[in-house]
Structure 1
């Protein structure tokens, strides 16, 4: 009878609660790491997809302006600064000690892209590609679902040439 402690019986509910909490905390930590890595991978891909779009647009406009000999234009200034900001974006996961504010840098990049588009006179847009876009593009390439109105709507011009005059309009 000397091994029985009445105090343990009084706190039995708290003991079970603390044991369950410790087990749940350890289990949650494991699942939190797994979920955090998956979410980080997804958001990181989205971020780099956006940055790749901005970089491609800046490089394209730089090439167009270099071919035309307009290296001192305001748009070229914005394109160079946009490429510089993208170059400063970290390629690896920075630690808290690095002092890099990724969200502030991404806001600066977006702002510089908008300034570039404004100086060029083009609409600043970023459209995310979907799986349906590939099937639709394939069908259009084969001429399966392209209406005459859709064909007339296409206004794409080659980078190395001037845009063709619109069909059916006279000024």
Structure 2
């Protein structure tokens, strides 16, 4: 009977429970960390591609405008070509940790933003670096409101026409 009972295991009972709980929590945290990490990566990746798409579209639009008008502005053309080249260098697939590429994505993104600002300066256009769906800072709200009021907006429907609510719903 004395051989079946181990007194040493009772001395370390608290540490044993702590170790088992830590192992279970670590495994559970690893699973949830992967899930949350993938969701965050997908969200941030979409934001980056949305911004890159804006820069590429901006450069292509101005390139087409200059080509159609036959204007020859060497500085603007240079900035446009360089911006498009930088956007093309951005990786199209997710580089894995096992790849030994020396690509510095934040540095490339900073270069793209800088080239965009240089192109805007050359064209005389105010750069817009706001993310989609965000409101302007508080000190610019008054400027935005006065600009919005100064622009004329044409209505799509005839004035003073009310449509009947659809299916009893009134918005």
For the aligned pair, the TM-score class normalised by the smaller chain equals: 0.7 to 0.9
**Runs in 1 of length 4+ with deviation above 6 angstroms?**
none
Correspondences of 1:33-52 after superposition (within 5 Å):
33-52=34-53
Shift of residue 130, structure 1, vs aligned partner: 3.1
Shift of residue 68, structure 1, vs aligned partner: 2.3
**When the two structures are superposed, what TM-score results if normalisation uses the length of structure 1?**
0.75
1:112 aligns with 2:115: yes
Q: CA RMSD in A?
A: 2.2
Change (3 A) 1:63 1:11: same
Choose from 136, 151, 154 the match for 1:153.
Answer: 151
CA distance in 2, matches of 1:87, 1:119: 22
Shift of residue 89, structure 1, vs aligned partner: 0.2
1:65 aligns with 2:66: yes
CA distance in 2, matches of 1:9, 1:35: 39
Matched-pair contact (CA < 8 Å) for 1:58–1:83: yes
CA distance in 2, matches of 1:4, 1:151: 86
1:83 aligns with 2:87: no
Shift of residue 73, structure 1, vs aligned partner: 1.5
Shift of residue 81, structure 1, vs aligned partner: 0.4
Alignment gaps of 5+ in structure 2: 135-146, 154-171
* Aligned-partner SS, 1:43: helix
Change (3 A) 1:150 1:17: closer
Shift of residue 32, structure 1, vs aligned partner: 0.1
CA distance in 2, matches of 1:74, 1:152: 33
CA distance in 2, matches of 1:150, 1:29: 49
CA distance in 1, matches of 2:126, 2:148: 21
Change (3 A) 1:154 1:95: farther
Matching residue of 2:124 = 121
CA distance in 1, matches of 2:28, 2:103: 32
**When the two structures are superposed, what TM-score results if normalisation uses the length of structure 2?**
0.75
Instruction: Summarize deviations over 1:130-163 as a string: whole Å, max 9, x none.
Output: 39xxxxxxxxxxxxxxxxx9575259xxxxxxxx
